[in-house]
Amino acid sequence: MSRFSFDIEATDGAARTGRITMARGEIRTPAFMPVGTAASVKAMLPGAVKQTGAEIILANVYHLMLRPGAERIARLGGLHKFMNWPHPILTDSGGYQVYSLAKLRQINPDGVVFQSHIDGAEHMLSPERAIEVQRLLGADIVMVLDECTPFPASHDEAQASMELSMGWAERSKTAFEAGADHAAKAALFGIVQGGTYGDLRKRSAATLQEIGFDGLAIGGLAVGEGQAAMFEVLEATIPELATGKPRYLMGVGKPDDLIGAVRRGVDMFDCVLPTRSGRTAQAFTRTGPLNLKNARHRDDPAPLDADCGCATCTEYSRAYLHHLVRAQEILAPMLLSLHNLHFYQDLMAGLRAAISESRLDDFASDFLGALGSPKAS
């Protein structure tokens, strides 16, 4: 079996549904990856994550290199064994976390020197070190190191940032290929940068495709530019990407963001929103989000979502969930996170089926209409 393959099975407009095949399993696309930043999808057992329909999760270089350390995880048998997730794992190379979490950072052509947000210790993250950490973890899909371009940024600032990331991408590929045993069974994705500037996105896409990657991610979005601008960037970028390779929109997003991006040709997503919302008493439903802190739920015997088949919806009432939230019981974030991840995986399954049956426009219209959202057209 090839170490990595991507087969498109059906299209509907720009949208595609297909299948990524790797040694540890298949990933049906469009796919949503739950975020297991520090080797844990928060408030979820790995088996429960799988039962929601997830086929791949995301973990993070920045957090795992700081604690407990990539070398320690490698000695303990690698990330899959360490966290009891035998299925594919994509590792984010840490560029965004350095941008958003590090106390102090200095970016230069060699990489980033930063102080840990945990204890202030100084670290160096270079393209080569980012790849080394992902190799030690045993990641199935490896991401190049990039700089997350801040928003807003001038054209000159975005160009300088993009060009730095492109140099790092080439070095990342060289480092990835040097790890022959790991490279023989893993895949490497490049990351398109360029801020909100279509011309820079096109240049970045062309550079990455010349270097050559198994898939391409679109980074530097969902950082404050708004949905309309994000969709404009996707419309400028996606036609420049190879048809036969998966396209991954990083860090996105809300249900209407996902639908709009799928309609524009995106295949893969990740976002902390389902589990973060679950930990803050927010539940996604087919008729819109619910805040379980609200007193109106205290006498409500209805499930969160009558059309959802998850254990939270089939076994517990809104009244009980409201009680758990108000009592600050740990079961509340567990049950709400379970439901939210199930909701996201149901959405992905619905999108895949709609694309296969050439009814994506109707599916999107019905789903967004029920949410009360006119967006993502």
Sign of CA dihedral 10, 15, 19, 22: positive
Regarding beta strands 31-33 and 57-60, do their DSSP bridges make them parallel or antiparallel, or are they unpaired?
unpaired
**277, 283 contact by CB (below 8 A):** yes
CA angle (88 as vertex; 125, 331 as ends), nearest 5: 90
User: Across-strand partners of 4?
Assistant: 22
Query: Looking at 92, 256, 257, 267, which residue is catalytic?
Result: 92
Q: How many whole angstroms separate alpha carbon 86 and alpha carbon 83?
A: 9
Query: Looking at 146, 256, 257, 270, which residue is catalytic?
Result: 270
Residue 230: burial class (beta carbons within 10 Å; 0-12, 13-18, 19+): buried
3 state DSSP class of 32: strand
Look up 92 and say whether it is catalytic: yes
Regarding beta strands 111-115 and 105-108, do their DSSP bridges make them parallel or antiparallel, or are they unpaired?
antiparallel
Q: How many whole angstroms separate alpha carbon 377 and alpha carbon 161?
A: 31
Give, in order, the Cα–Cα distances in Å from 21 to each of 6, 8, 98: 6, 11, 31
CA dihedral 254, 230, 220, 360 (to 10 degrees): 60
Look up 257 and say whether it is catalytic: no
Tell me the two tokens of residue 153.
């940024």
Q: Given phi > 0 = left and psi -120 to 50 = alpha, else beta, which region is 372? A: left
Only one residue has tokens 């990407």, namely: 241
Give, in order, the Cα–Cα distances in Å from 304 to each of 32, 151, 320: 21, 36, 10
Segments in 265-359 forming alpha helices (H): 273-279, 311-315, 318-326, 331-356
Annotated catalytic sites, by residue? 92, 270
